[in-house]
Amino acid sequence: MNDGAPERPRILVVEDETILAMMVDDALRDEGYSVVGPFGRVDHALQAAEQEDLDAALLDVNIAGEMVFPVAEALDRRGVPVLLMTGYDDSIARKEYKGWPLLMKPFRLTEVLARLAAMTGRSCGSPS
Partner 1 sequence: MAAASCVIGIGASAGGVEALKTFFGNMPADSGMAFLVVLHLSPDRDSLLAEILGHSTKMPVLQAADGMDVTGDHVYVIAPGTVLTYADGRLGVRGAAVPQRQLNPVDSLFSSLAVALGGKAVGIVLSGTGHDGALGLKAIRDGGGISMAQGRDGAAAYFDGMPNAAIAIGAVDMFLPVAAMPERLLSLLACPPPPADDLPPAGPVPDMEKYRAAICTALRNEVGHDFSGYKSATLFRRVQRRMQLFGLGIEEYVHYLATDQQEVALLFNELLIGVTKFFRDPAAFDTVAQLVMPLLFEGRGADSTVRVWVPGCATGEEAYSLAILLIEHMATLKVAPRLQVFATDIDEAAIALARAGRYPAALLQDVAPGRLQRFFTAVEGHYVIAKQVRDVCTFSTHSVIRDPPFSRLNLISCRNLLIYLDSELQAQVIPAFHYALAPGGILLLGSSETVTRHDELFEPLDKTHRIFRRRDVATPGPPHNGPWRSANRPRAVPAPSSPAPATPSWSRRAQDRVLQGFAPPFVVVNGDGQAQQFSARTGQYLEPAAGVPSRDLLTMARPGLRPELRAALRQARETGRRVDRHRVSLAGDEAGRTVTLTVEPLGNEGERLFLVVFTEAAPVHGAAAGEPASHGQRDGDVEVLEAELSDAHQRMQTAMEESEAALEELTSANEELHSVNEELQSANEELETSREEMQSMNEELHTVNAQLAGKVDELDRANSDLRNLFESTQVATIILDEHLRVRSFTPAVTGIYNLIQSDRGRLLTDIVCHVDGTDLKVDIAHVLETLTPLEKRLVRHDGSAHYLKRVRPYRTSNDAVDGVVITFLDITSVVEIEKQQLLLDELNHRVRNMLAVVVAMASQTLRRATTLEEFSEIFTGRIDALAAAYTLVARDNWSVVSLREILEVELRPHARSSNTTLQGPQVSLPPRVALVLGLAVHELATNAVRHGALSVPSGEVTVSWSIEIGAAGTDLVLDWRESGGPEVVPPRRRGFGLSLLERSVSHELRGTASVTFAPDGLQARFSVPLGLAGSPAGKMVATAWERKGG
Phi, psi of 86 (to 5 degrees): -150, 150
SS3 assignment, position 1? coil
Closer CB to partner 1, residue 78 or residue 105?
A: 105
- According to CB under 8 A, which residues from 32 to 61 bind partner 1? 38, 40-41
CB 69 within 8 A of CB 46: no
Q: Which of 14, 21, 71, 119 binds partner 1 (CB under 8 A)?
A: 21
Residues of span 65-124 touching partner 1 by CB under 8 A: 65, 86-89, 92, 104-107, 109
Backbone angles phi, psi at 101, to 5 degrees: -65, 140
Closer to partner 1 by Cβ: residue 30 or 53:
30
User: If binding is defined by CB under 8 A, does position 23 make contact with partner 1?
Assistant: yes
Min CB(55)–partner 1 separation in Å: 23
Cα separation, 27 vs 7, in Å, equals: 18
Would you tell me which residues interact with partner 1 (CB under 8 A)? 16-24, 26-27, 38, 40-41, 64-65, 86-89, 92, 104-107, 109
